[in-house]
Amino acid sequence: MAEWDPELAELSDRETLVERMGGEEKVARQHERGKMDVRQRIDALVDEGSFHEIGKIAGSPTYDDEGALVDLRAANFLFGRARLDGRTVVVAADDFTVRGGAADAAIVGKQVAAEKMAGELRLPIVRLIDGTGGGGSVRTLDSDPSKKVSDGDGGYGRGARTYVPLNPGWEHVVTNLATVPTVALCLGSVAGLGAARAVTSHYSMMVKGMSHLFVAGPPVVNRLGAEQVDREDLGGSRIHTRNGAVDDEVDSEAEAFERTRRFLSYLPPSVYEVAERGPTTDDPDRTDDSLADLVPRDRRQVYRMRAIIDSVVDDGSFFEMGKAFGRSAICGLARLDGWPVALMAGDPYHYGGGWTADSSQKVCRFVDLAETFHLPVVHLVDNPGFVIGTEAEEQATIRHGARALAAVYQATVPWCSILVRKAFGVAGAAHSPGHRFQYRYAWPSGDWGSLPVEGGVEAAYRADLEASDDPEALLEEITERLNSVRSPFRTAEAFLVEEIIDPRDTRPLLCEFANLAAPLRSPGPTSFAYRP
């Protein structure tokens, strides 16, 4: 028998106890809900056998009168390091089978340690959130030992009291947004601090029908009496992936894990590095004849911007983010000749591509993501301006739009714009950082100015039209005269746009841009911190 065999046997026993999680009954209940337990989730997410758990035997012990360990209830939070497609990451996961993810003695310390580990070792962090994620419970206020009510830490409280709220270690959560890629998966009913952890990320997901997110859940809301709601009505994925709180909804946990791996594949481990080049299996000189016919001559007709995206980027590489929110702006990650880029585009199917308050918020956050992780930006432009009208004014569109414009002008990463069709007004001016060298191309379908002719003639020539005996004929005459100088070639004559190109040449030119931009990426923190 080896010298330390008794202690090693005890270590093994303790590990066996915590591996039970919340116990057979609660784990079975988790599975009956169609949800994986926490250890299954980690195994499904990471490369096989790569998870190294830290603080595994932290939890709430029970000892007999002689001081021998009788039981060890696992902490409801696991973390450690693992590999995703060969890349080292930190995985931080809630265990809903142990007190529904509410706070216990170990969870806060382990959560803080996970965030510190990610930040200090410069590793991406993936949060698997299920429950309050370290939030409190009013049961902790009832700590009179005579009542025999557990304080949640495996014992009984001494001296009941409340506390002024603080989020221990939140500074590490905030710092990580400016340092390492952060992914949050909402995998159950998530409230309070858990909800805050979910949205304080670069990319977040919910599972349809299984995930719910709220500031406070239905029991609290219903108790106020103003409304009666269930979990889906209050915080289902349909709500939060359309209001911008959460980026995307998926059909299963397995899909969430796959999208996590894809998202991280475009980014560096931290801001102190640059993203690696991916496979170069798609010909950078490939052209597509269909692009020459894709944009209609009639400016009022829509077309499929995503077809352009799929044509010009490396085959199958476009990873769209936040598709259901701010839908007039398309945002996602892609590759050009293997190089990761951040890609934005206007979607004429929604407000003609015009920016709303929501799409402006989406663009602002996305440009900040590109700036944080040194990703060159490609912008396929079709933007007739800010959306107008009473609703737009009520939503403070100009305020949110001005923030998006500021984000574009603050960007220092390499930037290439393709003027596919419209670029009008203040929002149109956000097609690129205008004070920098314009690495910019225009298609023959390009159409730009301070206002579209169709909407600006009546305002500019109002007095003339009111004084005319035949205002309709005069309007037609003025419109025809203005349209005669609307050609993008006139703009190019004055070098107010750099190059007009054959749309079929777009991919080769973008791949050239990506190769020129690659050595210009500068590792290190940005001048301003990313905010959720």
271 within domain boundaries:
no
Same domain for 202 and 312: no
Same domain for 18 and 71: yes
285 within domain boundaries:
no
- Number of structural domains (the chain) is 2
275 within domain boundaries:
no
Of 394, 345, 280, 339, whose CA–CA distance to 516 is shortest?
A: 339
The domain boundary residue, chosen from 217, 250, 265: 265
284 within domain boundaries:
no
Sign of the torsion angle spanned by Cα atoms 221, 227, 233, 235: negative
Specify the DSSP class assigned to residue 410: H
Same domain for 296 and 254: no
Q: Residue 204 has which token pair?
A: 């977040």
For residue 177, what are the domain limits? 5-265
Sequential pLDDT tens for the chain (532 residues)? 789 998 999 999 999 999 999 899 999 999 999 999 999 999 999 999 999 999 999 999 999 888 889 899 999 999 999 999 999 999 999 999 997 645 555 678 899 999 999 999 999 999 999 986 555 555 555 554 444 444 444 444 455 666 677 788 899 999 999 999 999 999 999 999 999 999 999 999 999 999 999 998 899 989 988 889 889 989 999 999 999 999 999 999 999 999 999 999 999 999 999 999 999 999 999 999 999 999 999 888 999 999 999 999 999 999 999 999 999 999 999 999 999 999 999 999 999 999 999 999 999 999 999 999 999 999 999 999 999 999 999 999 999 999 999 999 999 999 999 999 999 999 999 999 999 999 999 999 999 987 676 666 677 778 877 788 877 877 777 777 776 677 899 899 899 899 999 999 999 999 999 999 999 999 999 988 888 8
Angle between helices 305-312 and 506-517 (to 10 degrees): 60
Cα separation of 52 and 283, whole Å? 40
Same domain for 312 and 260: no
Same domain for 318 and 233: no
Same domain for 339 and 210: no
279 within domain boundaries:
no
Same domain for 348 and 232: no
272 within domain boundaries:
no
| CATH number for the domain that contains residue 376 | 3.90.226.10
280 within domain boundaries:
no
Same domain for 485 and 359: yes
Same domain for 239 and 321: no
Same domain for 202 and 300: no
Same domain for 196 and 307: no
378 within domain boundaries:
yes
Same domain for 330 and 195: no
Model pTM?
0.90
